[in-house]
Amino acid sequence: MAGAAVGGVAIGAIGGYSFLTPKETIIEKEVEVPQEVPEHPWTYTKLNVDAVQKRAYEAYFQGGCCYSVFEGVIGELREQVGHPFTAMPTKMAVFGGGGIKGWGSTCGVLTGGGMAINTVTGGATINELMGWYTETDLPVYAPETALKVEGDIAKSVSNSPLCHASVTNWSNASGFAENDPSRAERCARLCADTAGKIVEMLNAEADGNFAPVFQVPDSVIECGACHGKEGPVNNVFAKMDCDTCHGDAHPN
Amino acid sequence: MAGAAVGGVAIGAIGGYSFLTPKETIIEKEVEVPQEVPEHPWTYTKLNVDAVQKRAYEAYFQGGCCYSVFEGVIGELREQVGHPFTAMPTKMAVFGGGGIKGWGSTCGVLTGGGMAINTVTGGATINELMGWYTETDLPVYAPETALKVEGDIAKSVSNSPLCHASVTNWSNASGFAENDPSRAERCARLCADTAGKIVEMLNAEADGNFAPVFQVPDSVIECGACHGKEGPVNNVFAKMDCDTCHGDAHPN
């Protein structure tokens, strides 16, 4: 609380009467009001890719893949920017781990990544993130201090946004069981790669030079000729590579 | 900024001297302080199922399926409870629509549902939600005022947590194309069903009588005998029904 005396006293005398203008003391009193949470989307501030990758890598071992990427990006904004990111309970993303509670559906890095991106933008970069994830040989990230398994980790291309497809492809490529410690190490590094990719894209978007490169797989176009909007059997709405699961479904 | 004059002026005269008690003006100056947000998870308050269903149904037409369920539950908490739910920008869930930006991966009602549940609990009900979604003939919800297509809407069982599988099954069951207006009406009603199911479970959990019934599909147990943790080819981690996509993969 701060007090400041301003104003003053004027004294005069007219016709034997003494009079004063009263001395006025103005006291400024600080009243605490909670900061208003801004409208969605919250303003993004460019982040350091290395710092976000490290945060995501470490967070994986605290709350799994979906939490890792959400905390990697939003946690770094919380530290660098503060309000309103201090209001976001990033642990709400734990659910997405293992393709939602171990169901093997969408890989949690994409769910947590979507949540992070969509907190600060309309989300134009999410489509690019999905494409990048499905077509890139991952993981690339090499931690300074490995938390589970040291040394190189085998890479693989998921050809799918799904957790179980991604894990099985990696398991087949590496020769390690899905519950081997090196699989957890692989997923932690994949989290770092994904959080880093997000920040690269958001930084580029902030600079006005984000340039998406992803094109939908050929199978989506080929199968879509019958099963898509313009086809006679218009019953599929997707951008996932059809061949990954339905390669043997029926001849094209 | 608000100003309030308090105190007053007293005038007297003793022995020819005039004196005044000083006038005090207190100016209240608002100082923004970081909003205190409780630790995760935020406290859940029991909600009315009908109100949440209606909110979710209407929200679908504002931001798609994932937003719909997240806004259905969190928006109702925002209205009924206020802080801290007023701090949650529910539009951050728009990304999950159509299995994340139309990719056809996890159905957005499950992503938005997981986000909502995990905001207020550790998420024990999410597994049950996934099971319920994959095995229930949906939609059941009938809006008082239909916003897209009036009358009955065909039901179907998805046998999968994935958007494109769910939509294709419905399209095949109903005979409507995936981009027919009745498909949007079906998805909006499915959102209402899902948000309602979540609140039923959370209310039961609050009353201490939540009783999960979901059992993993037989295929997960059968295929898991080889491909799961205890099997010789331990390369799959999932609870999704294997047969939905891999029924012809190879003989059991």
**Contact flag B33-A37 (C-beta cutoff 8 Å):** no
* Chain-chain contact of A126 with B95 (C-beta, under 8 angstroms): yes
Give me the helices (H) in A121-217, please.
124-135, 163-174, 181-206
Which letter does DSSP use for residue B5 in this model? E
- What integer is the mean pLDDT of B77-87? 96
The Cα of A160 is separated from the nearest Cα of chain B by a number of Å equal to 9
Task: Out of B92, B114, B246, name the one closest to residue A100 (CB).
Answer: B114
Phi, psi of B18 (to 5 degrees): -95, 140
Average pLDDT over residues B165-174: 97
Contact list, A85 vs chain B (CB under 8 Å): none
pLDDT of residue A248: 76
Nearest by CB: B237 against A19, A40, A102: A102
User: Which pLDDT band, with edges at 50, 70 and 90, does B123 fall under?
Assistant: confident
Dihedral pair phi/psi, residue A156, rounded to 5°? -155, 160
Of A30, A118, A238, the CB nearest to B104: A238
A contacts of B198 (beta carbons < 8 Å): none
Whether the per-residue pLDDT at B17 is higher than 80: the answer is no
- Res. B247 pLDDT band, cuts 50 70 90: confident
What tens digit of pLDDT does each residue of A146-204 get?
999 999 999 999 999 999 999 999 999 999 999 999 999 999 999 999 999 999 999 99
Of B99, B114, B103, whose CA–CA distance to B65 is shortest?
B99
- The pLDDT tens digits of the residues spanning A32-48 come to 888 889 999 999 999 99
> What gap in Å lies between CA B180 and CA B26, rounded to an integer?
65
Mutate to test the interface with A, among B66, B118, B160, B227 (most CBs of A within 10 A): B118
- Helix (H/G/I), strand (E/B), else coil: A25: strand
| pLDDT tens digits for range A233-252 | 999 999 999 999 988 776 55
- Per-residue pLDDT, averaged over B16-24, amounts to 63
Which residue does chain A place closest to B1, by CA atoms? A31
**Residue A13 or A218, more confident:** A218
Model pTM score = 0.90
Is the pLDDT assigned to residue B15 strictly greater than 60?
A: no
Over residues A125-135, the pLDDT tens digits come to 999 999 999 99
Per-residue pLDDT for B85 more than 90?
A: yes
Tell me what pLDDT residue B149 has: 98
**ipTM value for the complex:** 0.89
Q: What single letter denotes the amino acid at residue B231?
A: G
Residue A18, pLDDT score: 54
- Determine the distance from the C-alpha atom of residue A203 to the mean position of all C-alpha atoms in its chain, rounded to a whole number: 13
- CA-based torsion, A239, A93, B110, B58: positive or negative: negative
Predicted pLDDT of residue B13: 45
In chain A, which residue's Cα lies nearest the Cα of B236?
Answer: A168
